[in-house]
Structure 1
Amino acid sequence: MFPIDVVNQCKANNRKAQLQLYEQYCNGMFHVALRFVGNADDAEDVMQESFIKAFEKIHQFKGEVTFGAWLKRIVINKSIDFVKSKKENLVALNENHVYIVEDEDWSVENDVTVEAVKSAITLLPEKYKFVVMMYLVEGYDHGEIAQVLDLTENTCRTRLLRGKGYLRELLKNKVYGTRP
């Protein structure tokens, strides 16, 4: 059975179809949540809440994108909401008036592993971490990131550029041993 058939059955509140979709997407969505929240227990909670919301709102799924992409957006939003709810003090900076020069060079030293990059991303300040993760790991473009995070595209570009700078420094310090 094709996923769209299963989705249509879910729209009719078919529990077996819901279980089938859950089983098909739960592992992937768990890993998406884990990248954002950084803790397996919290990622499990976020994933469960995301599926609940998806099944409650499944009538809004129009098939313009794949079900997986639609669900992934819910998981990312829930993950970000979860992380924000854990923060006590957030300081908003107005980055709308900064002119950004795009830098598409994401190259790193040859001895830097993918795991080192992922680990360094988790150390970025939150407002940069989400943008870098969504761009570099999840493959979203600036328009999509701006929409999900409720930012302007210019702010998104600014945060990506600054996040990349922080990331390079973290990786450089790791490679040359200037930080423990």
Structure 2
Amino acid sequence: MHKLETHLIKLCKKGNEVAQMQVYNKYSQAMFTIACRYLSEEDAKDVMQEGFLKAFKNLESYKPEATFGAWLKRIIINQCLDVLKKNKLEFEAVEVSELQITNEDNWQFDNAISKQEILFAIEQLNEKHKIVVKLYLIEGYDHQEISEILEIPIKTSRTHLRRGKLKLQDLLKTKYNEARY
């Protein structure tokens, strides 16, 4: 972490409002963008505000082994998931006995498909699959982290990811085939 950032965090821990405003200004746009991946713009604004308040209140628990941005991102994502859970999104254990594990790292898409089309297709997935795909593919969390964030077994995370990936591939194949004819 940069010396300036370390100094800012120390000042924030002491309740320095100018330092808190500087930290907010530095991270707010990135955190808002992350929140918008999961929620409407209006809810994302609320979540971001609540997330920063929670972060400043719990700064003592921040450990510099992770970057401050990564720590804050985790708080924002947890706030988003709290909102989704309040809206009755429940992650239950999924029966996994008949599923084969596929290569999760193989996210190859046809070169003719744009990143925007992939992101649009992700939005078409059912809510549970969409969240796991976003946490894995966009945020870069592994199954252990997703399991902790969503409070689900690792197997359930893998299952939601696999089903989301298959559906995403179907959506993109359909889109690509429509575009060719």
Same fold (TM over 0.5): yes
Question: 1:140, 1:129 → 2: CA distance?
Answer: 14
Give 1:34 deviation, angstroms. 0.2
Q: What residue number does 2:119 align with?
A: 118
Give 1:96 deviation, angstroms. 5.9
Give 1:97 deviation, angstroms. 5.0
Amino acid at match of 1:14: N
Q: Secondary structure at the match of 1:36?
A: coil
Question: 1:139, 1:83 → 2: CA distance?
Answer: 20
Q: How does 1:55-94 map to 2 (within 5 A)?
A: 55-87=56-88, 90=90, 92-94=92-94
Q: What residue number does 1:16 align with?
A: 18
Give 1:92 deviation, angstroms. 3.1
Question: 2:147, 2:111 → 1: CA distance?
Answer: 31
User: Deviation digits for residues 115-136 of structure 1, max 9, x if unmatched?
Assistant: 0111111111111111100111
Q: Give yes or no for the alignment of 1:138 onto 2:146.
A: no
1:31–1:174 Cα change, 3 Å: same
Question: 1:95, 1:58 → 2: CA distance?
Answer: 39
Count of aligned pairs between the two proteins: 176
Q: What residue number does 2:168 align with?
A: 167
Q: Secondary structure at the match of 1:177?
A: helix
* Correspondent of 2:30 among 28, 31, 40: 28
Q: Output the TM-score relative to the length of structure 1.
A: 0.90
Say whether the 8 Å CA contact 2:144–2:154 is kept in structure 1: yes
User: Unpaired segments of 5 or more residues in structure 2?
Assistant: none
Say whether the 8 Å CA contact 1:10–1:55 is kept in structure 2: yes
Q: Output the TM-score relative to the length of structure 2.
A: 0.89
Amino acid at match of 1:127: K
Runs (4+) off by over 2 Å:
89-100
Q: How does 1:151-162 map to 2 (within 5 A)?
A: 151-162=152-163
User: Unpaired segments of 5 or more residues in structure 1?
Assistant: none
